[in-house]
Amino acid sequence: MASTYTPIATTTVSGTSTTTVTFSSIPSTYTDLVLISNSGSSTASDLNFELNSDQGDKYSWTTLGGNGTSAGSTRYSSQTYSGRLNWYAYQSTSNYSLVNIAHFMNYSNSTTYKTILSRSNNSALGTDAVVNLYRSTSAITQIKLLLASNWYFLSGSTFTLYGITAA
Amino acid sequence: MLWGYTNQTNNNANTFSNTEIYIPNYTSSNYKSVSSDSVQEANDTTNNNMWLLAGLWSNTGAITQIDIGADDTSSSYNFLQYSTFTLYGIKNS
């Protein structure tokens, strides 16, 4: 049976020292990428991403989210170091309760800026829909997930990268 | 667990809601987190909802069965004819 989601790579964290998770040498043969994260962190933390080792001010994002009491929207522009895949729904320190699904649209083209659509969910904290823009026309060949400061991803956190090919 | 929202029989005819649910690591020995998006658009002023849901099943057992009910699995509500439900599996290798 043909696959729609073609697995590219997966990382399952072990130990207490993993502060970043990196997918390198991403093949350019797909149309879109999908990154599925099910994770927790040593300290409650956002799930940030860096593309192609680029720490320039090329990242911006708009969020729509709610926490069961209030809902809202926020926006960040011209951010350095990384984009962000969540707002209300961040990583907790137990139970791998963050589920994040991020779509990197048309990631391998070399003519347009790159759009990333994500859904972030933590049932104890909230749920978000986030759109990121990476203002670079370079093809995405590396995705690094990172935490603030020297915190680490909880052992057992999983990160899987899939490729989707247009017909 | 609440997954989403459905159109009712007295909404516009032939109009069905759509819900997509993602359950990562469903066989793991951790609690199970769930992501759900649900939309209802019936071309009127009241049946036009969009839900973003985050769920947690606080059980370490592997998921081997999923029951979906209208409202809840013990209610007398019925799914309308032509409602469809499709389960897919995604592998990481």
SS3 B79: coil
Percent of chain A with pLDDT over 70: 98
CB < 8 Å from A in window 13-72 of B: 22, 24-25, 28, 30-31, 33-35, 37, 52-56, 58
Secondary structure of A34-75 in HEC code, one letter for each residue: EEEEEECECCCECCEEEECCCCCCCEEEEEEEECCCCEEEEE
**pLDDT classification of A141: cutoffs 50, 70, 90:** very high
Per-residue confidence (pLDDT) for residue B10, from 0 to 100: 58
Cα gap B56→B54, rounded to integer Å: 7
User: Per the CB < 8 Å rule, is B30 touching A129?
Assistant: no
What pLDDT does B11 receive?
59
Residue contact B33–A129, C-beta within 8 A: no
Structure tokens at A91: 């990583």
**Spatial distance between the Cα atoms of A121 and A100, rounded to a whole number of angstroms:** 6
pLDDT digit string (tens) for A80-105? 999 999 999 999 998 778 999 999 99
| Closest chain B CA to residue A98 | B33
pLDDT at B92: 83
Chain B residues close to A1, C-beta within 8 Å: none
Contact B37 A123 (CB under 8 A): no
Query: Using CA of residue A58, residue A62, residue A67, residue A72, what is the dihedral sign?
Result: positive
Burial of A136 (0-12, 13-18, 19+ CB in 10 A): middle
For residue range A60-79, list pLDDT tens digits in order. Answer: 999 999 999 999 999 999 99
Q: Is A126 on the interface with B (CB under 8 A)?
A: yes
Q: What is the pLDDT of residue A80?
A: 95
Mutate to test the interface with B, among A35, A64, A97, A130 (most CBs of B within 10 A): A97
Q: pTM of the entire structure?
A: 0.88
Q: Examine the pLDDT at A57 and tell me if it is beyond 80.
A: yes
Q: Which residue has the tokens 């699995």?
A: B73
Q: Tell me, what's the pLDDT at B82? A: 84
Cβ contacts from A onto B, under 8 A: 71
Residue A1 pLDDT greater than 80, yes or no = no
**Separation of CA B50 from chain center:** 13
Q: Quick one: pLDDT at residue B9?
A: 59
pLDDT along chain B (93 residues), means of 10: 66 77 92 89 77 91 91 71 88 83
In whole numbers, what is the pLDDT of chain A averaged over residues? Answer: 93
